[in-house]
Chains A and B, each alone.
Chain A
């Protein structure tokens, strides 16, 4: 009984803590926006429109469509969809490749040792430095962008997967062996779950890089996409539009990141619990 009561109290404190945290956060966000609004109103710079104007432009450009299209405008199909398509196909390609190869390489000691320096080197190349190469190899189409994103975000996924697989507790593997569990099942039930936290760390980094590469490639060479829209707004000196694109990219980055966080929460519920426990 004491334990249940304890847990209840602890639960309530957490709820109260979370509520006050949320309140504080919203207050800070509102205050931040207010300061931004007041400062931009005061300086009246052509380069810094007020947040109200920017948000207005965001809604007008992308979210003022008919209810039938979920309020999305045609502009979403024209410029946002291609960007998302490139981003997701490149990233997913890299995830499939990176996790698959990483699992294979990580389980084989000599292969991991052999490929280590090569992977480390590819990791050291700043991803945008690949843009000129992909441009001369694949032109300015979608293939270039998808390929660039896939190759550019591969190293962190690969490296984290290999590391995760290699740091699986030997005692856990021994436990599997003692009970006669075969290699395949050891991989599925011990190695992969145990490497998952680190794999997710790699996915998070790679998603951020994917956004960067999408924007850069669209700024450098494209005829559609959010980056292209951003550049057009800048060239036309439509400053509020330019800011609206910046805002849209932020929203996109935030949405992708919290999407991944949701997946991670679900997949790694045990990990957060286990970690919290070991910190106590």
Chain B
């Protein structure tokens, strides 16, 4: 008891101040960047002052044209991820539910997974041109794998005791799958979706970098970068992609907390 006691005290000493320290870190990083550029220690066309980038970022976030590009990226991201979920989850359940199929599918998945999805970009351009379909195909391909893998694993590795318990109460295989295997696999599936969400954003932007004719943040950043000597907007665009990444992650993590509180409790307990 007392040992844990000291542990919690030691740990809880920080969280109170963690936020403040983090804030101090951000503020001082900002100040340092600002100072070295204001003091002309680096060429301002290479590294504009942090405040300039911050203002440019804020302006971008209310710029309708830029927001159109963001919307285009996010549309492809959402559709691609949604499609991947629709494809990968049922497939993963089917693969994971039967032991023989599970082992065979694992070999196949391991075979296809190493293909770096960005290597498929030129092929996708040939097949689909440079529009939404092109982006979607790439996002779909890349984000299927993490969801598929996690679903297969989650469904296959359900605690045998839980399954036996259900069997003991006279449930059939189908209702065991529905009432036991799927709920206990759900957190794994969700983890797969979280990984896929990040992958989908990576692919969306990569696709945009390669297809000049399309809309999207990637295309916009390349254009802005080649259009002028002022790099402020490129920095600002990069910051926006980071904010997007943070927002996506935040939404998914808080969803996970809400949906799978039981899972975390069990993990913490063991």
Direct contact of A and B (CB under 8 A): yes
Q: Return the contact of B118 from the options A116, A123, A137, A216 (Cβ within 8 A).
A: A216
Give the contacts of A209-259 with B (CB-CB under 8 A): 211-212, 215-216, 219-220, 227, 230-231, 233-234, 239, 242-243, 245-246, 249-250, 253-254, 257
Q: How far is the CA of A250 from the CA of B114 in the complex (A)?
A: 5
Given A219-B121, A219-B122, the answer on whether A136 and B217 have CB atoms closer than 8 Å is no
Choose among A123, A128, A243 the residue with the greatest number of B CB atoms under 10 Å from its CB: A128
Interface pair B238/A129, CB less than 8 Å apart: yes
Interface pair B201/A126, CB less than 8 Å apart: yes
Given A116-B18, A133-B235, the answer on whether A28 and B119 have CB atoms closer than 8 Å is no
B86 vs chain A, min Cβ distance (A)? 23
Q: How far is the CA of A152 from the CA of B51 in the complex (A)?
A: 24
Tell me the total A-B contact number using a CB cutoff of 8 A: 161
Q: Return the contact of B116 from the options A115, A121, A253 (Cβ within 8 A).
A: A253
Q: Return the contact of A257 from the options B23, B114, B243 (Cβ within 8 A).
A: B114
Tell me if A132 is interfacial: C-beta within 8 Å of chain B.
yes
A–B complex contacts, Cβ < 8 Å, 18 sampled: A29-B111, A32-B111, A114-B22, A115-B25, A121-B242, A126-B201, A128-B209, A129-B205, A129-B237, A132-B222, A133-B234, A135-B225, A227-B119, A233-B122, A239-B126, A250-B114, A250-B115, A253-B114
Cβ–Cβ < 8 Å partners of A109 in chain B: 14
Q: How far is the CA of A239 from the CA of B246 in the complex (A)?
A: 39
Interface pair B245/A126, CB less than 8 Å apart: yes
Tell me if A21 is interfacial: C-beta within 8 Å of chain B.
yes
What are the 6 closest A-B residue pairs judged by CB atoms, nearest first?
A: A124-B245, A114-B25, A234-B122, A113-B21, A132-B221, A129-B241
Q: List residues of chain A with CB under 8 Å of any chain B CB.
A: 21, 24-25, 27-29, 32, 47, 109-110, 113-118, 120-133, 135-137, 170, 208, 211-212, 215-216, 219-220, 227, 230-231, 233-234, 239, 242-243, 245-246, 249-250, 253-254, 257
Interface of A is mostly: helix
Choose among B18, B110, B119, B125 the residue with the greatest number of A CB atoms under 10 Å from its CB: B119
Q: Return the contact of B209 from the options A113, A208, A216, A253 (Cβ within 8 A).
A: A216
Interface pair A216/B24, CB less than 8 Å apart: no
Cβ–Cβ < 8 Å partners of A208 in chain B: 116
